[in-house]
């Protein structure tokens, strides 16, 4: 029988740090959206993408606050799954992995939307908007890395010391 390269238990444990990173990203984004004059509007990109996808499959997308809530839920799930890559396996340098994944996600959030027909204004309205987008995704990756480090430290503390007898 073929065994998976990573035990499933470790894959499911990786979802926790991923959710921490996604929550950090969403909290920073939603807070700054209410305070800053020209924040990155990744929520607008998400709403456009969700509405476009629902229409593609023949449905009628929600409107207003309900669409915003659905987008936030989708963002938490998708970003949580993405940031869980920081904790998959036994990462030796989770902060490096988190920073690289966050940086790549931020660059993708700036570069890809115009190519996908979602508009460029929400993530590239100004140079500062693009920089903030990349910085916030990097912050989400680093938050996932911190949660991964704590998860690994807790696991190592629960392991018995010394060699197994027998």
CA–CA gap between residue 61 and residue 54 (Å, rounded): 6
Per-residue pLDDT tens over the stretch 111-159: 998 888 888 777 777 888 899 999 999 999 999 999 999 988 877 776 5
Q: What are phi and psi of 38, to 5 degrees?
A: -130, 70
CA–CA gap between residue 29 and residue 41 (Å, rounded): 8
* Whether residue 72 has pLDDT greater than 90: yes
Per-residue pLDDT tens over the stretch 6-46: 555 666 788 999 999 999 999 999 999 999 988 888 888 89
């Amino acid at each position: 029988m073929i065994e998976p390269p990573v035990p499933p238990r470790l894959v499911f444990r990786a979802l926790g740090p991923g959710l921490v990173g996604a929550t950090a990203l969403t909290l920073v984004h939603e807070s700054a959206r209410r305070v800053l004059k020209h924040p990155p509007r990744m929520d607008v990109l998400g709403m456009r993408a969700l509405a476009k996808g629902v229409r593609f499959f023949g449905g009628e997308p929600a409107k207003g606050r309900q669409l915003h809530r659905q987008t936030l839920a989708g963002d938490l799930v998708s970003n949580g799954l993405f940031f869980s890559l920081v904790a998959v396996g036994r990462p030796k340098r989770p902060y490096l992995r988190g920073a690289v994944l966050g940086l790549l996600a931020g660059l993708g959030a700036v570069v890809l939307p115009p190519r996908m027909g979602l508009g460029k204004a929400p993530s590239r309205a100004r140079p500062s908007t693009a920089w903030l987008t990349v910085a916030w995704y990097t912050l989400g990756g680093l938050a996932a890395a911190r949660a991964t480090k704590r998860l690994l430290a807790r696991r190592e503390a629960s392991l018995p010391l010394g060699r197994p007898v027998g």
